[in-house]
Amino acid sequence: MSRDFGSIRVEKDKEKGWRLCSLSTDMKYACVGRSGLESASNFPLIANVLANPAAGEVAVPSEQKVYDVVLKQASLVKRKLGATGELDAKPDIALPGNLSLLNEAYDRCGEICAEYAKTFYLGTLLMTPERRRAVWAIYVWCRRTDELVDGPNASQITPTALDRWESRLEELFQGRPFDMLDAALADTVAKFPVDIQPFKDMIEGMRLDLKKPRYKNFDELYLYCYYVAGTVGIMSVPIMGISPNSEATTESVYNAALALGIANQLTNILRDVGEDASRGRVYLPQDELAQAGLSDEDIFAGKVTDKWRNFMKSQIKRARMFFDEAEKGVTELNEASRWPVWASLLLYRQILDEIEANDYNNFTRRAYVSKAKKFLSLPAAYARSIVPPSRKLSPVMKT
């Protein structure tokens, strides 16, 4: 799942020695661990963001902020696994008091997922009923959240409206849903070890959309991508489940899920450059644009030049690196959950191929994967989904 939702109307304990690595477009990376920054002078991206001259303090890089969330979510799942030996849902509970209404709420979530995410929806049908319904509930909440800033009424949305939406989320997590769609998610978070933080972080991403049309560097953009899409991966891991045969650390599976969300959002950004520019938004690292000899004016002009092609090649390369990292974790998921995730990953990755096929014209041409290519991707996704876990993952991102 990614932040590419479209428009709808709805009615009615840490691992020892962990290290965090920031990917730059020239394939260099910097790592942050418990011993602090390693070789920062060789990696200007991290060196720049760590210095905070205004406050006279050392700033925490985005990767570390996000990884703190990853560790917290992973610990919830590990506690669940330690108590039961497996990650299964609790028995159905009736919210808001009538099981038939709850079933109706889940069915409505499934209808929305089927309408707006057809391929993913088909994959969810292979899951157990509990996991399938939970994924639908999360998808719909994410979609509704995105609608606040990108839907038909986005021009009327204020920070206060987002504050109210967050308060409503907190009520939902306390078992007090506002409507039937909220009830489906309230039931889901009561049955699975899902924490509220990724949901609140997604709302924070919506706040950024209201006030921040530019990103100085990739560190800032990375945090934004986590807020609006990486959160979806973290929300979903407890629902998808981890294979009982997996030897991977729980943190590494979460890290791969995070990487998939980041990859999907970077792909959205590269696909939608022209559309975003029409709204005055540029979701590209300003420092990297400058290094490529480009500026916002070049983007607003919408002309494909050699400078633009070279810049796009470096951005696509980075997105593919995140997809590569994400692939390592899909095999570690519960077998019944792998196919929809593989399908999503393979289909989204092909958007980057289509941008290249369009000669990097993402100003006036929207890259999309044809129905024929989507259909051909499903057998490949299924073939990958039946490959059993066979190796131990490292809980860090590497180039």
Helix axes 197-211, 129-150, angle to 10 degrees: 20
Structure tokens at 108: 């409505």
State whether residue 44 is helix, strand or coil. Answer: helix
Residue 84's pLDDT is 47
Domain boundaries, the chain: 2-51, 62-398
d(C-alpha 199, C-alpha 232), whole Å:
8
Q: pTM higher than 0.75 for the full model?
A: yes
Residue 117's pLDDT is 85
Residue 59's pLDDT is 61
Topology, domain 62-398 = Farnesyl Diphosphate Synthase (1.10.600)
Tens digit of pLDDT per residue, the chain (399 long)?
Answer: 344 433 333 333 333 333 333 344 433 333 333 333 333 333 232 233 233 334 444 467 788 878 788 887 788 777 765 544 444 544 444 444 467 889 999 999 999 999 988 878 888 888 889 999 999 999 999 999 999 988 888 888 899 999 999 999 999 999 999 999 999 999 999 999 999 999 999 999 999 999 999 999 999 999 999 999 999 999 999 999 999 889 999 999 999 999 999 999 999 999 999 999 998 999 999 999 999 999 999 999 999 999 999 999 999 999 999 999 999 999 999 988 898 899 889 999 999 999 999 999 999 999 989 888 888 888 888 899 989 886 555 444 433
Per residue in 353-365, is it b (16+ CB within 10 Å) or e — as a string?
ebbeebebbbbeb
C-alpha distances out from residue 81 to 76, 77, 134, 205, 245, Å: 9, 6, 19, 31, 13
Q: What angle do CA 139, 208, 221 make, to 5 degrees?
A: 90
Structure tokens at 260: 């998939």
Cis peptide before 96 (omega within 30 of 0): yes
Strand 19-23 relative to strand 36-38, pairing? unpaired
